[in-house]
Amino acid sequence: MFLYTVAQIKSLLDVPDSAYHPSAHIRPHTMRAFLVLLYGTGLRPGEAMKLMRSDVDLDQAVLTVRNTKFFKSRLVPIGPELTRFLSAYDGKCPQQTPLASDQPFLRCRLGKPLKIDAADSVFQ
C-alpha cells in the first residue's frame, strides 16, 4: 500500500488528456474519477470498479458498496466536493440513452466495467 499526498494526487489529476494514449480503454475523465473516488472514499480499487449506477446516489451523497470483503455490504457517505466531482463525471460520459441503473458507474470506452489491468496500465 502506498499513501499519496494531496500534492501527488493533484499532479496525477493534472496530467493532460494528450498524455493518455488515444486507444487506451479508459478515457482520461474516467481515470480521474476513479482516482478521486479512491482517494476521497478509501474504497478498494475492485470495490470502485464494481459500483453500478444504482449504487451511486448523488442526491443523497452516499455510495452502496456491495458484496465486499467477507461478502458484506456497506454505505459510504461522500462529501459535497466529491459529490459535485462525481456528478460532473456522470454528466460528461457519452451516452446514447440514459444510463440504466444496472450499468457500471465507471465505464471503459466500450461501456463495460473497468478492469484492474486496464486501470493499472493507464496509471503507469
Catalytic residues: 44, 69
Report the distance separating Cα 99 and Cα 91, nearest Å: 10
Asked whether 47 and 41 are in contact (CB, 8 A), the reply is: no
Q: Is 41 helix (H, G, I), strand (E, B) or coil?
A: helix
The residues near 44 (Cβ < 8 Å, ≥ 6 apart) are: 68, 69
Distance CA 29, CA 106 (A): 10
